[in-house]
Structure 1
Amino acid sequence: MSKFAWVTLTTNDTYSLGALVLAHSLRRAGTAHQLAVLVTPSVSEAMRNKLKDVYNVVQEVNVLDSQDAANLALLSRPELGVTFTKLHCWRLVQFEKCVFLDADTLVLQNCDELFEREELSAAPDVSWPDCFNSGVFVFRPSVDTFGKITEFAVQHGSFDGGDQGLLNQYFADWATADIKKHLPFVYNVTAYASYCYLPAFKQFRDNIKILHFAGKLKPWLIQFNSETKSASTPSEYAHAHDLIQLWWNIFCDNVHERLTDEMQSHGAVSSDNLKKPFNEEAGLAGALSQLRLGAQRTPEQEQYENLMRRQCWESGQIDYAGRDSFDNIWKKITQTLDAKPAKEADKTDNTLSYNQLLTQTATELLHPPTSEVSSPSLSSSPSVRSSSSSRAVPATNNVAATEPAASSKVATNKATINTPKATAPQPTRQAQPQTSQVKVEVQSQPQPPPPSQAQPQLQSQTAQHIVQSPNGAPVAPSRAGRQRAMRKFK
């Protein structure tokens, strides 16, 4: 048996879907070497049994976490911390040489020639070509190397918080030391492409040997129609539609029949969950196991599609030009509002009536219908305004005022206040008002505004009382009087 092996890693049952398709793509490409997969404790026993059907070695490893939240936040990819677990691949010392492949890769052509390369051989990363992409690399298993890399990680961390930054720091001479360790880009082609990348992708697509679904959108998260066995490829992946469909073709031919509803996305199996015909908590693998391929759509199919759409939304992949267009979203919102339960409608109507009652009561308090105001103030009587300025003048004495009847004419009531003789008012703020015989003229208010405008108008109205001395000169209010007026106004 070969002493070389293809190695991958899976941390849950969902990523195990990718590992299963990857293994079958290697078999289809006619590899002569063994297959090994590292699994963490969160992979269910049911999924491990399916992995054993296609992998020569299924080895459990513990989870290594970079704990580098700051750098991971820069990538908006906190899940990359557990990719430090990838370092366990150096402990597969039963093999002489290995090639590591991420579980989200797909082998399109035979690549056994990679085992002729030395450690650490890798392809340049599309975002920064002086760094290699750690989705595909050649290495030699060694416990000593594993210890050195983990010690380096503890001391220096990772510049991106994940395994790629760490390995590029540890193998820092990759870009300059030996050009033979630079794998051609066709061994690790990123499926997602920007506008300037598309012409090259179309030109060299027939030469691609390994396709890498790097990023948040994985092939198993793309909406899939079980009746037609076709994938609904997002627009940004339209150039790779046939390759994404190839992933699903392998899934339908070799993986689907091996799935069971016992497969979870995070490990533990609940007996209550297994009683349900379709359960989102059972994870994507369990949901896919219940689809009937090539058959008429079923309720399970519809629930699966809803689950897929939700996961696509959560990963930031939204079909704005299709099912998730604005028109469709607005149509759904309208249908939901039209289908509002009767009880909820009654509750809303009661709430509105209550609010209207509050508004009406407030209006009546602000504009009393009676013809007599016993305690004039800014909140319950016509407001007061000096004839020489717009300053509010408080009514500091007991004044009997009569509210005029409903009429468009201005009515005037007079009240006499017995006070000492007044002198000329002082222009400064510090001056105290001189007491005198004061004549108060009360102007009637205009018709009250509608209930919805009563409160705003009350706050914006200025005082309308005109206070004058016998000789017609205005009386300046005292500072204490102004403060009392402001408190009542508030």
Structure 2
Amino acid sequence: MKTSGNRVWLTYVLSDSDVPNALTLCFSLRRVLTSRRLAVIVSPKVSRVSREALSYGFDFVFTLDEERNTAGLENEDFVKLFALTLQGFEKCVMLSPNMLVVKNCDELLDKEEDVQQTFVFAENGDSSILRLRPSLQVFNCLLKQLAKRNGTGVDSILKKWLSDQTSQLTFIDDKYNQHLHEKASFLREEKNIAIVNLKNKTPHELDYVGEMVLQLWKSIYDKSVLPLLNAVANVRNQLL
């Protein structure tokens, strides 16, 4: 029997430089009182101290198994496929580590209309947010196709495969992937913004809402993330 515990928020850390963003995303989800658990996929290249810090924020820490990357993908692309191998979960919503959750949006994990759809992208094609259903069969199938991609982008192949499998695609609403630099959208959709994409942080020329989002990111980082990183680093230093 499936339970809410089988549905998780998921992100990834491919280098130590991703850790501050990933933890800030983590604490932003806790700030809005998500009822779901949080998971992170970590590259073997990430340092032990960073991994320890992540274990204090996230409920689950998985290691990216690079040996399964038989298609020779960049880790940033392979991690999207690797999430399909997490068979302990019924459904995951994968967020890029540079995202910030500003409102509770557990409904993304509650939606059932995409039962036959393995991946759900944002309608604008941005894969910074993905809803997926883990499946080893789909993982192996896509890996074989991607091995023959001949320069075609990974996202393009995933979307084409999905279109071939599903007659009527569903999409993730734009409010769950609002880019910070899209000033007009912020002014028009302030009440509907749920998750912000901070990939292109541009502190100058932002409207009021954009400035508030950056302030929120900094507040979460200063109050929750930085003390955690410092505490873990201090413990490690004392043990050396």
Cα separation, 2, equivalents of 1:240 and 1:257: 25
Cα separation, 1, equivalents of 2:162 and 2:130: 12
SS in 2 for 1:235: coil
Q: Is the 8 A contact 2:72 2:147 kept in 1?
A: no
Match of 1:188 in 2: 177
Matches within 5 A, 1:127-276: 132-157=125-150, 159-160=152-153, 163-172=154-163, 177-179=167-169, 181-193=170-182, 198-214=183-199, 217=200, 233-235=203-205, 240-260=210-230
**Structure with more helix by fraction:** 2
Cα 1:262/1:97, change in 2 over 3 Å = closer
Q: Is the 8 A contact 1:93 1:142 kept in 2?
A: yes
In structure 2, give the amino acid aligned to 1:99: V
Cα 1:67/1:192, change in 2 over 3 Å = farther
Q: Is the 8 A contact 1:24 1:254 kept in 2?
A: yes
Match of 1:84 in 2: 77
Cα 1:151/1:67, change in 2 over 3 Å = closer
Cα separation, 2, equivalents of 1:177 and 1:150: 22
Cα separation, 1, equivalents of 2:93 and 2:129: 7
Q: Is the 8 A contact 1:157 1:166 kept in 2?
A: no
Cα 1:52/1:236, change in 2 over 3 Å = same
Q: Is the 8 A contact 2:190 2:209 kept in 1?
A: no
Q: How many residues align?
A: 224
Cα separation, 1, equivalents of 2:164 and 2:108: 20
Match of 1:93 in 2: 87
Cα separation, 2, equivalents of 1:99 and 1:8: 8
Cα separation, 2, equivalents of 1:259 and 1:209: 27
Match of 1:5 in 2: 8
Question: Normalization by structure 2: what TM-score?
Answer: 0.83
Higher relative contact order (CA 8 A, sep 6+): 2
Q: Structure 1: which 5+ residue stretches go unaligned?
A: 69-80, 126-131, 223-232, 264-268, 272-490
- Same amino acid, percent of matched pairs: 26
Cα separation, 2, equivalents of 1:149 and 1:107: 30
Cα separation, 2, equivalents of 1:67 and 1:144: 19
Cα separation, 2, equivalents of 1:164 and 1:65: 17
Cα separation, 2, equivalents of 1:58 and 1:11: 13
Q: Is the 8 A contact 1:22 1:105 kept in 2?
A: yes
Cα separation, 2, equivalents of 1:122 and 1:25: 22
Q: Is the 8 A contact 1:23 1:54 kept in 2?
A: yes
Give per-residue Cα distances to partners, 1:20-52, cap 9 Å, x unaligned. Answer: 011111111111111110000111111111111
Q: Which has the larger radius of gyration?
A: 1
Give per-residue Cα distances to partners, 1:245-275, cap 9 Å, x unaligned. Answer: 1111100111010114987xxxxx9x9xxxx
Q: Structure 2: which 5+ residue stretches go unaligned?
A: none
Cα separation, 1, equivalents of 2:198 and 2:207: 10
Q: Is the 8 A contact 1:191 1:237 kept in 2?
A: no
In structure 2, give the amino acid aligned to 1:33: R
